[in-house]
Structure 1
Amino acid sequence: MLGIDLGNSIRTAAIRDQDPLAADTTCFNLRQYNEHADIPALTAALRGMVPTLDAVAGYSVEACVAAMRDLGMVLGSIKRHGPEPVPLAPEVVPVLHELGRRTDMVPRDTVHHYTTWNPVGGRQRMYTGDIQEAYLQESVRMVFPHLREALELAGLLSDTDVAEPKFADLTDELTGHVEPMVASIDMVVANVSPEFFARDLRSYFEEITVDGRVLLGPAAAQVPLWLIDQAVWASDHSGPEYQEFLRDSVPYSLPRWRELYDCWTGVPSVVTRLVAAYGDDPDGAERRMPGLRPAAEALARLLRVVLVFRGRHLGIARKAYDADLRLYPVGSGGASVDLLRQITDLTRASAQLTRPRGGSAERAERRPA
């Protein structure tokens, strides 16, 4: 079980192709059931989809992921209209646990199921069928391959001395994989109105209770930019609220990413190691270690891109969770607008730490253009 790589492109494509519950038609019909808040139809759909444990035993890992995806769409639909879904079909509980065990994930669907592992085209699973929902799904789908590469690069960066020449190159490569997040948020701004998200879509991502455990629904918070934060600055430059949010988000991530979180927790962040390398004599440090300034400049570029994304994300959240518009006080991942602002401020403060102080750095800043 351990070591399952559910994030690679070959396995992702295989999962999208799977329909182990023969649920293509049912999932398409969800749009109509949801439009009419047809709880009896949704309940019948859920009960008709639940496989036996013997059937699950014969599934591949890919089929287990696809089964969780499709069950999750119906569970979220029922909860959106009021009832806790599990009591309406209690036979789903052991199946959810077994699917979670087989895939080494929580026993419900996550943002990965809703976006990355969701078929595209005519088989795409959607709650509403609105084109804005499709844009939102695509905005997340387009960044996951880049984030997967970015996280592995962050792992290399964490193991590389900040003064080594390759440190700056690795950081710039990492930045290249973070930049699509800015394009992603721009897609959302251009194509998804705050009103649609707040009034029509947000309610499908509510938490449900499975066997006494409250489980969050698919959420943008499960997109692991926070894990890059952990490696680059947040392991030792964060605040208690952000650390609590991270701990709450970790269980919903892929097995490999949970492993990386453990590796990067309680150890000096990349920013801390850079500051330590500069010490009290920045000029002397740069003379002794010529790779230091390129490293600092590369880290500044990376954090600048992250700040652009965070600023735009904060702007969207403020609109979607405006008191006059929102139906919920916090995001489906548990983050409030105030926490998003705190994270942006913490990122900005960490970016400031990448600027060497004193000596040649200060003279360069004062030098006229």
Structure 2
Amino acid sequence: MANAAITDLSSLARIENVRLLDPLNADSACFRLRTMNTQTDVSAIVGALRALIPGLDEVATYSLDECLSAMRDLGMFLGSLKRHGVEPLPVVPEVTAVLEELGRRTDMVPRDTVHHYTTWNPVGHRQRMYTGDPQERFLQESVRMVFPDLRTGLNTCDVLADTAPTDPEFAPLLDELNVRLHAMVDSIDLVLRHVSPVFFARVLRPYFEEITVSGRELLGPAAAQVPLWLVDQVIWATDRSEPGYDEFIRHSVPYSLPRWRSYYTRWSEGRSVVSRLVDAYGGLDGATTGRESPVLRRGAEALARVLRTVVVFRGRHLGIARQAYQADLRLYPVGSGGASVDLLRQIIDLTRQNAGLVQARRPNPSTEVPTIRPTAPAGPDRRIPQQRWRDGVAL
């Protein structure tokens, strides 16, 4: 198991407390930021940021939760300046030491992440937003709603990493993980219903550009930092991935929470769930020795369900990405987390390849991994013909 001494920044009690806190007295400034962005008022954004910056002696008195809240609020102004074409730290250099100290105190990168922008963000009238547009609120909620189930799911993955396919608990653990992963599907459905590709590509995406802190380029609080890649890592990617996805995962790890980074390190030293199941069935030659085991059969069926849920989510995500990053709409060639549409397609192909290995070892497959088709986006900006859809597949 992971080191219990590593601080759990994902606990529900901590999330609620961080949302409540306002150590910089930034409520008013964060609300006014929406108007500053609408008016492209760079001088007002710079002035508001300078007024919020605490001294290092004040930061020394902050609790861990106050440090998370302070980084959340400073980050809103950093991303806003970059959106308007201004690299923030050369303009407001006095914030640099504070960002570094807040990063050190929280054991995270020295800027805001997706956790600050969504999970640790207040809800209601205090919600920190770049634009105030309802579509931004839905996008934040789509990420926020995932984390409670994802937290539980990653804890389940940590147990799976040490559970043999021949253990009777193997299949129930996979089924528990599958239940938790359905929150990802629910979240992408929320985006499809309420967030148009034009709004994301043209309005919101520019706020997630990288900034430079002490010579280090740091991504903005992108949804790609939600670590579904960490589930991939334990299920198949630790030994069945390809260099492009491996590089993306390594680039994403620093933006994750300390405990989840420790999971990545530990899981990378072992063999994936898919590999261990294949071995239990007698290897890649498809030997039938394992087919007679009800425990292995249940494990294979449960693993197929997990992979199917991941493919459904990624298929719908791919449909959104294709819309937002098509040549005549996009402002940037790659996503806010650094992934291209081609990489998303490759990840789906890798997932399906691993699902194929699992399905080949099931005597009567009943849970097929769907063929991906583009999913119709929300709003009036549809460029895909209207169809009926189920699990990302055209009916």
Partner of 1:338: 342
Residue 209 of structure 1 and its aligned partner are, at CA, apart by 0.4
Asked if residue 230 in structure 1 is aligned to residue 224 in structure 2, the reply is no
Partner of 2:381: none
Asked if residue 39 in structure 1 is aligned to residue 42 in structure 2, the reply is yes
Partner of 2:388: none
- Name the SS of the counterpart of 1:161 in structure 2: coil
- Residue pairs, 1:1-369, within 5 angstroms: 3-279=6-282, 280=285, 282-287=287-292, 289-357=293-361, 360=363
Q: Distance in 2 between matches of 1:331 and 1:218?
A: 12
1:60-113 superposed Cα distances (whole Å, 9 cap, x missing partner): 000000000000000000110011001111110110000000000000000000
Q: Distance in 1 between matches of 2:287 and 2:364?
A: 8
Residue 164 of structure 1 and its aligned partner are, at CA, apart by 1.4
Q: Distance in 2 between matches of 1:356 and 1:292?
A: 13
**TM-score relative to the length of structure 2:** 0.89
Residue 284 of structure 1 and its aligned partner are, at CA, apart by 2.4
After superposition, the CA RMSD in angstroms is 1.5
- Name the SS of the counterpart of 1:91 in structure 2: helix
Which amino acid counterpart does residue 319 of structure 2 have in structure 1?
G
1:268-314 superposed Cα distances (whole Å, 9 cap, x missing partner): 10000000100156432233x33000000000001000000000000
- Name the SS of the counterpart of 2:333 in structure 1: coil
Residue 357 of structure 1 and its aligned partner are, at CA, apart by 4.3
Q: Distance in 2 between matches of 1:56 and 1:135?
A: 32
What runs of 5+ residues in structure 1 fail to find an aligned partner? none
- Name the SS of the counterpart of 1:179 in structure 2: helix
Partner of 2:374: none
Which amino acid counterpart does residue 139 of structure 1 have in structure 2?
S
- Name the SS of the counterpart of 2:320 in structure 1: helix
Q: Distance in 2 between matches of 1:255 and 1:2?
A: 11
Q: Distance in 1 between matches of 2:302 and 2:20?
A: 40
What runs of 5+ residues in structure 2 fail to find an aligned partner? 369-395
Deviation >3 Å, runs of 4+: 280-283
CA 1:333 to 1:47, structure 2 compared with 1: closer, same or farther past 3 Å?
Answer: same
Q: Distance in 1 between matches of 2:151 and 2:13?
A: 13
Q: Distance in 1 between matches of 2:294 and 2:341?
A: 41
1:210-243 superposed Cα distances (whole Å, 9 cap, x missing partner): 1111111111110010000000001111110000
Partner of 2:378: none
**TM-score relative to the length of structure 1:** 0.96
- Name the SS of the counterpart of 2:169 in structure 1: helix
Which amino acid counterpart does residue 208 of structure 2 have in structure 1?
F
- Name the SS of the counterpart of 2:32 in structure 1: helix
